[in-house]
């Protein structure tokens, strides 16, 4: 598949997706579409057993929704700028509203696709991740963040908005409701050590070791029983909508499905024989 903003490199089961939409990986409908297509491609490719998302920009991992990316079909040329400022603003928002709604809907769908990918995913955060950028990282299973200049936060209230890419749902699951309320309402920005201390990121690492430690985790996961990992992810996501009894039934169903996989047989045999398992991902 051809991508404008994404590249995928795969080595020994570890896929690395580089997101490159200058200047700071602002989320547009086009980027969201590409990421969704990428998730479909990876889902059908057994050679990819773990996925890392990275940015080539030193300052930014992802800055959130690109509200300045106005499609050509939205005609702003006929707005009467001689009107009072509040009327100009009202007319501007009236014309932009359908575009913004469509972009947010697509961004939500994209983040759901990342969260539901049947492979473990890692966000390698070397620069700022604000708003939708942090929401994207929250859709990943692991977040490794560099100490130093990078900051993360759901900063939408600072411009009169609220998180709309799943942050109000996923942040409480990561840090608890009370902490999420404080972070969302204040829009506060956190460094790596504070983010790690409250569970917002998996690990804070020194800037110079970010890539090495992220790839080490990725290679470790890629050697694992990724079919089981994928089903574990699936039930954790579904738990948000399940009763206890429904969750227990899902656990039984997924265990039965895993009994038909090579990895479950290999895992049990390796345990009984006292050796390290050699998983193949299915």
Pairing of strands 6-11, 14-19: antiparallel
Residue 88 pLDDT grade (very low, low, confident, very high; cuts 50, 70, 90): low
How does DSSP classify residue 74? S
Quick check: 263 and 223 in contact, CB under 8 A? no
**pLDDT computed for residue 210 by the predictor:** 98
Question: pLDDT tens across 192-236, in order?
Answer: 999 999 999 999 999 999 999 999 999 999 999 999 999 999 999
pLDDT for 91 equals 67
Closest CA to 272 of 280, 264, 261: 264
Supply the pLDDT for residue 268. Answer: 76
Q: So what's the pLDDT on residue 55?
A: 98
Give the span between the Cα atoms of 128 and 145, in whole angstroms: 10
Domain ranges of the chain: 6-222, 226-273
Q: How far is CA 190 from CA 28, 57, 184, 204, in A?
A: 25, 19, 12, 12
Instruction: Write phi, then psi, for 16 (nearest 5 degrees).
Output: -120, 115
Window from 95-104, 107-116, 158-167, 183-192 with minimum mean pLDDT: 95-104
Beta bridge partners of 41: none
- Could you tell me if residue 199 is left (phi over 0), alpha (psi between -120 and 50 degrees) or otherwise beta? left
The residues pairing with 205 across neighbouring beta strands, listed in sequence order, are 146
Q: What is the pLDDT of residues 126-155, one digit of tens each?
A: 999 999 999 999 999 999 999 999 999 999
State the pairing for strand pair 64-65/50-54: unpaired
Active site residues: 65, 132, 135, 156
Kindly indicate the confidence band of residue 12, based on its pLDDT and cuts at 50, 70 and 90: very high
Does the domain at 226-273 match CATH 1.10.12? Answer given as yes
* DSSP assignments along 134-147, one per residue: HHHHHHSSEEEEES
pLDDT band at 172 (very low <50, low <70, confident <90, very high): very high
Hey, what are 165's tokens? 């890419």
CATH of 6-222, one of 3.90.226.10, 3.40.710.10, 3.30.70.260, 3.40.47.10: 3.90.226.10
Mean pLDDT of 61-73: 76
With a cut of 70, say whether residue 90 has pLDDT above it. no
- Of 24-33, 91-100, 183-192, 208-217, which range is least confident? 91-100
Q: What whole-number percentage of the chain has pLDDT above 70?
A: 90
Whether the pTM exceeds 0.75: the reply is yes
Q: What is the average pLDDT across 87-91?
A: 66
pLDDT of residue 75: 63
User: 243 or 169: whose pLDDT is higher?
Assistant: 169
CB atoms within 10 A of CB 98: 11
């Amino acid at each position: 598949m051809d991508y404008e903003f994404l590249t995928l490199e795969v080595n020994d089961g570890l896929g690395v997706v580089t997101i490159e939409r200058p200047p700071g990986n602002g989320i547009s409908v086009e980027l969201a579409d590409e990421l969704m297509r990428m998730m479909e491609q990876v889902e059908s490719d057994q050679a990819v057993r773990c996925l890392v998302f990275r940015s080539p920009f030193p300052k930014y991992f992802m800055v959130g929704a690109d509200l300045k990316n106005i499609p050509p079909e939205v005609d702003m040329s006929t707005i009467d700028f001689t009107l009072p400022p509040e009327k100009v603003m009202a007319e501007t928002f009236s014309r932009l509203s359908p575009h913004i709604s469509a972009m947010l809907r697509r961004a939500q769908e994209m983040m759901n696709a990342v969260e539901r990918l049947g492979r473990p995913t890692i966000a390698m955060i070397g620069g700022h991740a604000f708003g939708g950028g942090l929401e994207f990282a929250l859709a990943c299973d692991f977040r490794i963040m560099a100490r130093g200049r990078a900051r993360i936060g759901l900063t939408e209230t600072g411009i009169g908005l609220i998180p709309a890419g799943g942050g109000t749902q996923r942040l409480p699951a990561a840090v608890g409701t009370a902490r999420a309320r404080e972070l969302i309402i204040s829009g506060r920005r956190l460094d790596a050590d504070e983010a790690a201390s409250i569970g917002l990121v998996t690990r804070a690492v020194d800037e110079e070791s970010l890539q090495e430690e992220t790839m080490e985790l990725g290679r470790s996961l890629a050697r694992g029983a990724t079919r089981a990992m994928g089903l574990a992810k699936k039930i954790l996501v579904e738990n948000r909508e399940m009763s206890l009894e429904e969750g227990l039934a899902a656990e039984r169903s997924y265990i039965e499905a895993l009994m038909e996989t090579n990895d479950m047989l290999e895992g049990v045999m390796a345990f009984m024989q006292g050796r390290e398992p050699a998983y193949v991902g299915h």
